[in-house]
Structure 1
Amino acid sequence: MKFLFTILSLILFIALKTNAQTGRLVKGVVKDSTGYLLAGTNVKMLTGTDSTTVITNADGSFAFNNVKVNQFSLVFTSIGYQALKRRFILQVDNKPAILPAVIMKTETRMLNTVVIADVNPVKMKEDTVEFNADAYKVRDGAPVEDVIRKLPGMDVDKDGNITAQGKSVTKVRVNGKDFFGGDVKTATKNLPAEIIQSIQVIDDYGDQANITGIKTGEPEKVLNINIKQSKNYGYFGQASLGGGRDAIPGISNDKESDRYVASASVFSFNGNRQLAFLGNLNNTNTNLFSFGGGGPRGGGPGGPPGGNNNSSNGITTARSFGFNYRDSWGKKVTAYGSYSYANNSVNTISSTIQNNLSNTNPSTNTQSNNQQDDKLNHRVNFNIEYKPDTVNYVKITPTFAYASTNTNADGSSLLIRNAQTVSNYTFSTLSKSTEPNYGANVLFNHKFNTHGRNFSVSAGAGSYSINKYQNPVYTYIDGARNAPLNQFINTDSRTDSVGTTISYMEPVSKKGYLEASYAYHYAYTTADKVTDTLAGDGTRNNYDLLSNNYNSTFITHRFGLNYRFIDKKYNYVLGLVAQPTILNGASVMAGQPFKTNNNTFNWAPTARFIYNFSRNQSLSVNYNGSSMQPTYTELQPVTDFSNASYPVQGNPDLKPEFNNTLAIRYNKFNFESGNVFFSNLSFTKTDNRIVANTITYPRNYAPNTKLAGSILTQYLNADGYYSAQGFYVFAKPWEKRKYNLFMIGNILYNNNVSYISNVDSVTYNMTTEKNIAKNLVLSQGARFRVSITDVIDAEASTTYSVNTSRNSIKQANVNNNFRSLNLGINGKSYFFKDWTLSYDYSKMIYYGYTGATNPNILNTYIERRFLKGNAGTLRFSVMDVFNENTGYTTIQNGSYVTQTNSNRLGRYFLLSFTLKLQKFAGKRPAMGPGGMGGPPPGGGPGGPPPGGGF
């Protein structure tokens, strides 16, 4: 009992002693000189020999618990602000203390004496999310792409394509200016990470919107890479050379093929003048540039989408180089532009199963195809910006692009309907096409002396052409012989367009503005198609029914009137848009003229609302309406038999589509925990949606034997189409982002509309049904990343995806439920200081794909850095170690469901050497006595040089 009493007395004494030592709560708030609350500020409390650091939260407040002293100092540090130290003396008691507001001044010179405990990794401002590159450490010599892989909401696939917050990044800029015409992978794969200050993800509405603030239409996702000021002078150069084989001696007996890579990149920085040169030669599916088609609604064939090693369909031999230039011509003119060249050869072997939907005549088409494409691309972009004074701005942008494609394809097609062979044939196709595309745009903006009054006008003109020759040859084995056996098809199309946009903004109150805009667009398209057939005696005959001369004029006017209100916390735009369109067309086919005249009028409200809860939490809502014209293929009233089983016929009576889009975005970053949450949701409803009407003809169709047994695609306008898309990412870091957990989800729902028609085999009467295809694409993924500089940078991931469709026209024995599970681990381990082991393993498990295997893909390399400054790197790579690389894709719409299996680059090994040389400085190097040392003209200490970076 005495022992128990002693223990209880001791516990009571400790409790009383602890309570007597309990300190007080000390809290306060940090602002800048304008009253803006500074979240993310480091606040360090100094109490004698002890110190404690906290970070201000979203409302700029901070708090210290259990402060046991009455006198202490606080040190405040924040990026972009002068460091501040304050001494405080409190009353002798334990009451909570609220300190006076702390006001920090902006920093006008470089901080060189303040050591910041941690950088602010994320900043948000309306349409921009900015990531501080120093917060996402990578190994010396790594490209910018390695930094992007670590950013919350960003994803880089194995081809180097980038998505940001669920949407594809379509353009990259460096210091606010297009780099190599905005080509995405050119910058991210070649710029060294150590020269990067920050990376911005921007919803970009175009040059005119960036100047005026009047934003209409759908924005592009643009990546802007800002260069550190300390890297404004100097150079960076890198060259690689490597060789290898497909088969590995002692491991595989596969037929050997040589693999090779050769690349070089040089970047030169001299203040305002920046130069870049890139070159690449390889047969490992690595493309230096991406070239897209220039026509409407997807355009014609351009270059390949760009690949990286063995993850692209087909086998590619790539030859490419390019040059980028930027400089200031005096104090008022900035010029920048680029030239890109690519000459690629691609061999693609694929097999496709296509289930054609129909209530009465369902069919299955099995195709095989071996295709060789030789693609040539040139692209020139140039920009001249002229700022004669502080109120006027002029930008002139000429562009030119040229693409040509030569294709040789061989394959077979078997179409089965109701357990009977409809057609069975082999084919060979030779096609050649050229696509020149050129234009120019001029932008002028004038700011009046009155605050907020602004006038802007943009005018442009361009021409886009497709000249295409096709020679499809069919050899029928069984079934209907509908298409001509040997065709010579020449198609020449050209679209000339001009347009202008005028905007004016007038302040009507201290925070309110009236915006008026007008846009005009005129496009004239000509499409001449001539089809010849080869007779049995070898003579060529013109086929009038497959030839025509078509032209169309598409004119749109867009009138807009908005009211904009701008406050510190929020801003909104409310208005109305009216858009009349005129579509006229004329055609002559087989001597018979056709004319169409479609006039439509659409109007839609304009609404945009942005609320900034803090500088790191925002909500935006945006609604807009826009029209889209039909392509000449959809309008041209002639039958195209370049694919015998699936001929296509245009409809000259089509109306333009009109899209109504609502988009909601919510972003939040928590300074205290480091948690990041990005989300967006969009909904689109389309009036007069251009949809397919697939007509199934019986094998014995007598009125037109060319259509017998085929499935003809025509086009109609229909209402009822809508789509919804959602995305979210949640990132949870620990230990200053050494450990990160990412949860990522995507959902896409399409309510597709199509028409299914069938021709009776006896009466030849046609019946047509409307099909509603409800397509759901869903994916959920999780990633866990460990990033310890110079030790390990690794990530484990898993993604489960669903692609399913329900059709109102029911059809048995057609699988429309496809799923896949992707398990992976990738990373780099660093050891012995200069050695690196890289590994990228993924296991794909497919559900619902006919004949699909579940490949194990492992790419790995080991490398050694050496020479002074780690200038040299020797690497040994083995790609697709298990030789199981294959590609499976599926497409579902209201007319068919397809599964495609394509070849990909398989196992190979490669030994390569890379030499890297670099030297940078923050200012122009001194020239000695009488030289030209000192900072660049016009750039104050710590301030950016005129014109920025590239």
Structure 2
Amino acid sequence: MKYVLLSGLFLFSFFIPELKAQSQKGELKGLLLDEATKGALPYATVAVYTAADTVMVTYRMSDEKGSFRVPGLPLDQQLRVVITMMGFKVYRKEFKLTPDQASLDLGVINMEQSSNLLNEVLIVAETPPVLVRNDTLEFNASSFKTLPTALVEDLLRKLPGVTVDQQGNIMVYGKSVQKILVDGKEFFGSDPKIATRNLPANVIDKVQVMNDPEALRRDPDMPFMEIPQVINLTFKKGIKKGAFGKLYGGAGTKERYEVGGIVNMFRDTSQVSIIGYSNNLNRASFDFADIRRIGGFARSGFNSIGMNSNGGISVNGISFGGMGQGIQQSSGGGANFNTVTKRGTKVNLQYFFGDSREDLNQVVNSEQFLKSDTLNSRRNRRQISRSESHRIGGKIEWKLGPLTTLSINPSVQFSYHNANQNAYTNTFRHNGNRLNESTNEENISGEGMGFGNLLQFERSFEKKGRRLTLFSRMNQYSSLQDQINEAENIFYQPDPTATLLDQLRNTDQNDFEVYNTLSYTEPLNEAVSATFTLNSEYFNNDNVLATYLADPETGAYDTIVPGLSNGLDRSGWRNYFTSGLRWKIKDVTLQPGIRFTALNINNRFQTIPDIKQNYFYVFPNLNVNWKQLNFSYNVNLQEPMATYLQPVVDNTNPLFISYGNPSLKPTVANTLSMNYRKFDNKKSINYNANMYGTVRNNFITRARTIDENGVQTSRPVNTDGNWMLSGRGGLMKDFKYDKNKFSIGGNMQVNYDRSLILLNGSQSFSQSWNFRPGMEARMNLDDKLELSQSFDVSHRRSTYENNAFNNLSISTRISKSEIVVRMPKRIVWEATFDYWYNSNMAPGLQNSYGRLNAGVTLLFMKNDRAQLKLSVYDLLDQNISANRLIRENLIEDYQTEMLTRHGMLTFTYNIRNFGGKVGGRQNSLFRF
């Protein structure tokens, strides 16, 4: 808390003088009209320069009504205002503001249309920082000052109306950016972060923002606020090839280390990427953008990206570090190749591998509240595990014509994993009487192999709005797993009784699916279109369980247990036919429809009779768009997993025994959603709100029992009346004073969940509420000082209709602070302090902890290409991660041992080599 208070005082010590300075400056305002039509001229650029040397002071853009206001202008200095807009002549006027007359109203300015009809040509003495070219917004990069080491992402943060969050997601005037082009071509895939987090800002000439033409071609009636944006970056002259990336290596105390590199080379339409890494620091060796976007990895069709709260990353099941718990060592690498042939065919090839080792030491405390009793269970868990994965894939995309494309995405994956775990668990009543204790040693080993392919065909037609698409997905995955459990258990009621478990559980699973979607849209007139969609899916799940007991003499697991062994072969067809209309009335688009669903499943068991399930449903759906508001209603159908259907007891943990249920029915979920987004250009405020709700019939609920020894059993059953509702709203406002930028915002999230609890023959609906308000503030003073602070509070409460269960509530608080100081030149000081608090933690567990990290970086070599960083992790030596949650009628506390305090010295070299020659010879890759 002391650190947070000092950060706040430091912030206001800079912020107040800036406000004072701002109050002593002047402003310019006026109204822009078209001289010929007398209509308002929105989004014209109003830039103010010093008259003596034409250095830009600041600028603004006119709003929807054509009015503008330019604050923060210096007094007693000759200035020049330059107003530019495509298709109109440039307006110039010199003026001077004084303390007595600090505001100048230019009144109505009638902009004269230009006689030059070539809108691509605009010549002015003062280069405008922003220019609107028809439907394209163009920023002049040289008008926005950035550091020598700045990347495109840093440049975008300087642009008005553009916001970039901590994950690198980009919004322009409240609309999301889905693609970045470089000189009009895809650059290492279509994901924006490829360019924003790797291209240096000083090679960019223009930043152009426009509506995504492909999205509009697919859906001409797309709501305005839903149209994704495309950013096109134009290189400065002479830059058409190059390489970028980074190499780093570091060593620290307590045998900590990190090493890695990622190199990306491009020339014309070909790109090659190579990645490699290894560390034992509990984190990913590269950030989210590095792994998913750099080198066009996203272009291969691999789109299963996983992240956790600690920043860990996995790509389609392959860990790139930090994904597990405890203390981890991660290694891996890969290569990626993209090219475009002379005929326009896009080709991608890639290979990934990942290796992760984990050492987990964790305490889990579970407090379960019953009508007249409370059960407290504590488990101490120690696990050492390893996983290894390899994946090969690619993508080929053909342009069969100006309106037709076809692509295929094949992939193959191999994986291996093993884990050794020892868990000690004991359970007590509220009066202190012990019910049970167990020591369970578990060894798991397994391997898997999978193959998949995606096929996409898209055909547009000359008639606007007519479109035909085909999507086909095929996946086949096989896995084998052996699980050995050796458990010693003591049950104390009514008299102490000991049991032993020594068994091998073998699982052989094969899954296969083929999914096809054919969609056609036919415009009936300018306002109405008909849509037809046919979905057909075949699936087959083969799940075989075999349990063996150990031979007392040889120790070999060769005696099968029939009651714990069984096979399930499930196959079936899921077919949908959806028809509807799209009706556009001014700003409103209505899309009512109806879906016919047929589901046919055949479950074949080894030990019980086959079960056939045939269902037919008729579901309505509706989508409504009005300006920035979107509303939708639909119904989803999901059959239970094959493992839920297995009529086999899972007794690998003798204290928590699970049963299967072959009679489970598919879950039917009625879903309602609403979204609203708006960016107020004049006030620089970004608003967002959304709501989501679902009612689930035949929902899968665990029916549980607890016996006198505290042994729990569960069985999945179908229940009705389960539903949930969630909503979130927030806003963020930006302030800009000269070279300084401030942002402040807040949000509120509310969740409600109503679910059925079945325990010991009693049933009760639980009602869980979660309120989570949050605030965030950021400050950047001329890139010399950066401060950010976020604070989240969460309060969760569960109430129960049946008085057999006690009402529960927990509160958590999370505070995150960051400071960056870039003084003196080429020295960067930085520190982060994250604080967590959980109310009413179980005795013996820590309810709060803080993690303070700090570092200092020296920048050197040409253009600050090299960095030498000295950092210290967890200065307070807290060494834990803790969290608490409510589930059903219990509260669970998790406390996990993390890395201890350590120091690191890391050297990083950034590769930034783009085009051209130096001294008559080609630039080298590592040019100093």
TM-score, normalised with respect to structure 1: 0.77
- Which runs of 5 or more residues in structure 1 are unaligned? 1-22, 67-71, 89-93, 246-256, 613-617, 700-708, 759-767, 932-950
2:287 paired with 1:275: no
Give 2:44's aligned residue.
Answer: 41
2:776 paired with 1:776: no
Give 1:552's aligned residue.
Answer: 570
Alpha-carbon offset, residue 304 of structure 1: 7.8
2:475 paired with 1:462: yes
Rounded to whole Å, the distance in 2 between the matches of 1:183 and 1:892 is: 37
2:104 paired with 1:99: no
2:691 paired with 1:678: no
Give 2:896's aligned residue.
Answer: 902
Change (3 A) 1:482 1:163: farther
Residues 708-739 of structure 1: CA distance to partner in whole angstroms, max 9, x if unpaired? x5211211112222222222332221126833
Rounded to whole Å, the distance in 1 between the matches of 2:782 and 2:665 is: 58
Rounded to whole Å, the distance in 2 between the matches of 1:345 and 1:202 is: 45
Rounded to whole Å, the distance in 2 between the matches of 1:927 and 1:329 is: 33
Alpha-carbon offset, residue 886 of structure 1: 1.9
Q: From 597, 603, 609, give the equivalent of 1:594.
A: 609
Asked whether the 8 Å contact 1:741–1:784 carries over to 2, the reply is yes
Alpha-carbon offset, residue 459 of structure 1: 1.9
Alpha-carbon offset, residue 796 of structure 1: 2.4
The secondary structure found in structure 2 opposite 1:326 is strand
Asked whether the 8 Å contact 1:233–1:269 carries over to 2, the reply is yes
Rounded to whole Å, the distance in 1 between the matches of 2:280 and 2:49 is: 61
Asked whether the 8 Å contact 1:24–1:97 carries over to 2, the reply is no
In the TM superposition, 1:168-247 aligns within 5 A as: 212-213=218-219, 228-230=234-236, 232-245=240-253
Change (3 A) 1:365 1:868: same
Change (3 A) 1:435 1:101: farther
Rounded to whole Å, the distance in 2 between the matches of 1:786 and 1:426 is: 53
Rounded to whole Å, the distance in 2 between the matches of 1:841 and 1:307 is: 22
2:32 paired with 1:28: yes
Residues 525-581 of structure 1: CA distance to partner in whole angstroms, max 9, x if unpaired? 010000011243345321111110012124221111121235774533222222222
The secondary structure found in structure 2 opposite 1:388 is strand
The secondary structure found in structure 2 opposite 1:869 is helix
Rounded to whole Å, the distance in 2 between the matches of 1:574 and 1:31 is: 45
Rounded to whole Å, the distance in 1 between the matches of 2:910 and 2:28 is: 57
In the TM superposition, 1:319-718 aligns within 5 A as: 319-359=331-371, 362-417=374-429, 419=431, 420-479=433-492, 485-537=501-553, 538=555, 540=557, 541-566=559-584, 569-588=587-606, 592-612=607-627, 618-699=628-709, 709-718=710-719
Alpha-carbon offset, residue 772 of structure 1: 1.9
Rounded to whole Å, the distance in 2 between the matches of 1:427 and 1:636 is: 24
Asked whether the 8 Å contact 1:237–1:918 carries over to 2, the reply is yes
Rounded to whole Å, the distance in 1 between the matches of 2:919 and 2:796 is: 64
The secondary structure found in structure 1 opposite 2:464 is coil
Rounded to whole Å, the distance in 2 between the matches of 1:565 and 1:496 is: 39
The secondary structure found in structure 1 opposite 2:863 is helix
Whichever residue aligns with residue 744 of structure 2, its letter is F
Alpha-carbon offset, residue 913 of structure 1: 1.2
Rounded to whole Å, the distance in 2 between the matches of 1:222 and 1:349 is: 45
Asked whether the 8 Å contact 2:89–2:111 carries over to 1, the reply is no
Q: From 800, 804, 816, give the equivalent of 1:824.
A: 816
Asked whether the 8 Å contact 2:488–2:498 carries over to 1, the reply is no
Asked whether the 8 Å contact 2:84–2:91 carries over to 1, the reply is no
Change (3 A) 1:356 1:509: same
Residues 445-488 of structure 1: CA distance to partner in whole angstroms, max 9, x if unpaired? 22233222222212221112332110111122444879861110
Give 1:807's aligned residue.
Answer: 800
Rounded to whole Å, the distance in 2 between the matches of 1:651 and 1:179 is: 51
Give 1:792's aligned residue.
Answer: 785
Change (3 A) 1:652 1:546: same
Change (3 A) 1:547 1:32: farther
Whichever residue aligns with residue 280 of structure 1, its letter is Y
Alpha-carbon RMSD = 4.8
The secondary structure found in structure 1 opposite 2:899 is coil
Change (3 A) 1:162 1:328: closer
The secondary structure found in structure 2 opposite 1:504 is strand
Alpha-carbon offset, residue 429 of structure 1: 0.7
Rounded to whole Å, the distance in 2 between the matches of 1:514 and 1:632 is: 38
Residues 829-854 of structure 1: CA distance to partner in whole angstroms, max 9, x if unpaired? 00121110011112333322222242
The secondary structure found in structure 2 opposite 1:855 is strand
Give aligned pairs, total.
831
Residues 249-285 of structure 1: CA distance to partner in whole angstroms, max 9, x if unpaired? xxxxxxxx20111111112121221222221111112
Q: From 853, 865, 868, give the equivalent of 1:874.
A: 868
Alpha-carbon offset, residue 223 of structure 1: 11
Whichever residue aligns with residue 466 of structure 2, its letter is R
Alpha-carbon offset, residue 795 of structure 1: 1.0
Q: From 303, 317, 333, give the equivalent of 2:329.
A: 317
2:848 paired with 1:864: no
Asked whether the 8 Å contact 1:524–1:551 carries over to 2, the reply is yes
Give 1:705's aligned residue.
Answer: none
TM-score, normalised with respect to structure 2: 0.78
Asked whether the 8 Å contact 2:589–2:624 carries over to 1, the reply is yes
Rounded to whole Å, the distance in 1 between the matches of 2:255 and 2:70 is: 67
Alpha-carbon offset, residue 508 of structure 1: 0.5
Residues 361-410 of structure 1: CA distance to partner in whole angstroms, max 9, x if unpaired? 65222111011121112233422111122121111111233332211111
Rounded to whole Å, the distance in 2 between the matches of 1:210 and 1:336 is: 26
Give 1:913's aligned residue.
Answer: 907
Alpha-carbon offset, residue 242 of structure 1: 0.9
The secondary structure found in structure 1 opposite 2:656 is coil
Asked whether the 8 Å contact 1:754–1:895 carries over to 2, the reply is no
Of 43-52 and 802-811, deviating more is: 43-52
Alpha-carbon offset, residue 316 of structure 1: 1.2
Rounded to whole Å, the distance in 1 between the matches of 2:419 and 2:187 is: 31
Whichever residue aligns with residue 46 of structure 2, its letter is V
Alpha-carbon offset, residue 501 of structure 1: 0.5
Asked whether the 8 Å contact 1:453–1:507 carries over to 2, the reply is yes
Give 1:893's aligned residue.
Answer: 887
Asked whether the 8 Å contact 1:362–1:811 carries over to 2, the reply is no
The secondary structure found in structure 2 opposite 1:637 is coil
Change (3 A) 1:77 1:395: farther
Give 1:837's aligned residue.
Answer: 829
In the TM superposition, 1:303-314 aligns within 5 A as: 303=317, 313-314=325-326
Alpha-carbon offset, residue 95 of structure 1: 12
Whichever residue aligns with residue 241 of structure 2, its letter is Y
Asked whether the 8 Å contact 2:372–2:804 carries over to 1, the reply is no
Rounded to whole Å, the distance in 2 between the matches of 1:683 and 1:712 is: 31
Asked whether the 8 Å contact 1:463–1:495 carries over to 2, the reply is yes
2:90 paired with 1:85: yes
Rounded to whole Å, the distance in 2 between the matches of 1:891 and 1:494 is: 35
Rounded to whole Å, the distance in 1 between the matches of 2:890 and 2:479 is: 28
Larger relative contact order (Cα-Cα within 8 Å, sequence gap ≥ 6): 1
Whichever residue aligns with residue 264 of structure 1, its letter is G
Whichever residue aligns with residue 822 of structure 1, its letter is I
The secondary structure found in structure 1 opposite 2:900 is coil
Whichever residue aligns with residue 370 of structure 1, its letter is R
Give 1:734's aligned residue.
Answer: 735
